């Protein structure tokens, strides 16, 4: 009797694509701005503050999208802390005048819930996202 041919080898399975790389742990953004002194002592940089506001807006939009996805995935009804809670996001700067400038601009753009503080007052605090506003920008590089 004739033998049946052996079965063909199984088709190779494709491995799923690798996950996307995680975002960088930190990023720097160059902002063309001009430092100014408020009341002759503390410094602020309005252009840099506006760049921070734009970044916070983007983070809020991204958080809203992620919240919708989480709500669809979570069946147990648990809710994570709001996108603008102090453990999620905080803005720190070295100058009190920049704190005031940032708070005013954030309020004007409907983002007043975001914590803005000096570096000194934030010592020991943690957040998922920390935005640092350096403020100083001049042609003397000082």
Q: Compute the C-alpha angle 101/107/113, nearest 5°.
A: 110
Tell me, what's the pLDDT at 47?
A: 96
Helices and strands (DSSP H and E) totals, the chain: 2, 5
- Residues with Cβ within 8 Å of 114's Cβ and at least 6 positions away in sequence, in order, are 56, 84, 89, 90, 91, 106
Residue carrying structure tokens 């020991």: 124
pLDDT of amino acid 48: 96
pLDDT at 75: 58
pTM for this model (two decimals):
0.74
Look at residue 63 in the predicted model and tell me its pLDDT.
81
Buried b (16+ CB within 10 A) or exposed e, 48-66: bbbbbbeebeebbeebeee
pLDDT in the model for residue 13: 74
pLDDT at 72: 53
d(CA 81, CA 79): 7
What string of pLDDT tens digits covers the 142 residues of the chain? 677 788 877 777 777 788 777 777 888 888 989 999 987 789 999 999 999 999 999 998 888 777 666 655 555 566 667 878 888 899 999 999 999 999 999 999 999 889 999 999 998 888 889 999 999 887 776 6
Q: Quick one: tokens of 82?
A: 């709001």
Closest CA to 116 of 138, 95, 136, 141: 95
């Amino acid at each position: 009797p004739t033998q049946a041919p052996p079965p063909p080898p199984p088709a190779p399975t494709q491995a799923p694509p690798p996950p996307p790389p995680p975002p960088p742990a930190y990023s720097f953004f160059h902002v063309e701005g001009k430092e100014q002194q408020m009341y002759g002592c503390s410094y602020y940089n309005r252009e840099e503050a506006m760049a921070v506001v734009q970044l916070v807006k983007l983070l809020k939009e991204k958080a809203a999208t992620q919240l919708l996805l989480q709500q669809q995935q979570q069946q147990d009804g648990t809710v994570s802390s709001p996108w603008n809670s102090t453990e999620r996001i905080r803005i720190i700067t070295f100058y009190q005048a920049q704190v005031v400038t940032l708070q005013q601009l954030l309020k004007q753009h409907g983002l007043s819930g975001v914590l803005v503080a000096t570096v000194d007052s934030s010592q020991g605090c943690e957040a998922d996202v920390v935005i640092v506003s350096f403020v100083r920008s001049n042609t003397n590089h000082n």
